[in-house]
């Protein structure tokens, strides 16, 4: 079982719809990242969260530490939002420190149709 | 401003060849990470440098993989005797602080390696 699970794997929606992508994790973490990856392109960091909620433009990210769950919302979706959205966590090690690298989910492939 | 750059962007190697992939992190960034992303999958951690020190290489899949960052800036990931299963996108990321703290990671465009 992956330590980071995302749902849905694929999502197709119409322009203007409200989009929600979910991320659940099974380990203790010090931070959770939401990332965006366009086809053939690099990865762009959208948010880094350790608690609560963050908003940037039409994007909102929330995290519930107790439930080990995070959501990424896109309001008023647009075709340019079409991309793969990846959830990644920094795992807390038994020593109390964080893992050196991030552990990633498999991504959610989002297509927004005009 | 300059972000993380990687070269080459695309590399085709014949099975058994050695390859070297380069990463130029953001100037002044202490931490540098290498990740491997297979087709349709999320990236997986390979190795981590804090300045010139390779502090974690637990994700390197075999002893054919070797990484260095001799002066604490540019890093090279070398794969010896490439195999078909090495075909993937290799991503480099850098962050301002040391791994002990949670800093945003900035990713390069990746190098797509195809082994034929």
Residue A8: other Cβ atoms inside 10 A: 12
Q: Cβ contacts (< 8 Å) between A42 and chain B: which residues? A: 4, 91, 107-110
Give the tens place of pLDDT for each residue, B87-106.
999 999 999 887 656 678 89
Contact criterion met (CB < 8 Å) for B100 and A33:
no
User: What is the nearest CA distance from B115 to chain A, expressed in angstroms?
Assistant: 18
User: Which chain A residue shows the shortest CA-CA distance from B112?
Assistant: A40
**CB A31, CB B102: distance < 8 Å:** yes
Judge whether B110 is closer than 8 Å to chain A, CB to CB. yes
Residues B87 and B59: their CA atoms lie apart, in Å, by 16
Give the tens place of pLDDT for each residue, A26-76.
988 989 999 999 887 789 999 999 999 999 999 999 999 999 999 999 999
Q: What is the pLDDT of residue A94?
A: 64
Q: How many CA atoms lie within 13 A of B33 on its CB side?
A: 27
Mean pLDDT, rounded, for A13-22: 98
Give the tens place of pLDDT for each residue, B42-54.
899 999 999 999 9
Contact criterion met (CB < 8 Å) for B108 and A44:
no
Q: Of A29, A13, A27, A2, whose CA–CA distance to A73 is shortest?
A: A13
The runs of H, that is alpha helices, within chain B are none
Give residues with Cβ within 8 angstroms of A2, minimum separation 6.
A105, A106
């Amino acid at each position: 079982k992956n330590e980071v699970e995302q749902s849905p794997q694929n999502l197709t929606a119409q322009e203007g719809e409200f989009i929600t992508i979910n991320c659940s994790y099974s380990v203790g973490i010090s931070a959770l990242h939401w990332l965006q990856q366009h086809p053939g392109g690099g990865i762009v960091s959208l948010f880094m969260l350790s608690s609560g909620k963050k908003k940037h433009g039409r994007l909102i990210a929330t995290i519930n530490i107790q439930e080990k769950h995070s959501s990424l919302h896109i309001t008023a979706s647009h075709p340019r939002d079409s991309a793969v959205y990846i959830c990644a966590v920094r795992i807390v090690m038994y020593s109390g420190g964080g893992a050196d690298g991030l552990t990633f989910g498999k991504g959610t492939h989002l297509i927004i149709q005009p | 401003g300059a972000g993380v750059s990687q070269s080459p962007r695309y590399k085709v190697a014949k099975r058994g060849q050695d390859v070297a992939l380069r990463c130029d992190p953001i100037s002044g960034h202490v931490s540098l990470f290498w990740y491997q992303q297979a087709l349709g999958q999320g990236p997986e951690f390979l190795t981590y440098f804090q300045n010139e020190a390779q502090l974690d290489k637990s994700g390197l899949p075999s002893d054919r993989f070797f990484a260095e960052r001799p002066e604490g800036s540019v890093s090279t990931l070398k794969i010896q005797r490439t195999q078909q299963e090495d075909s993937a996108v290799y991503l480099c990321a850098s962050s301002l602080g040391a791994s002990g703290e949670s800093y945003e990671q900035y990713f390069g465009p990746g190098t797509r390696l195809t082994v034929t």
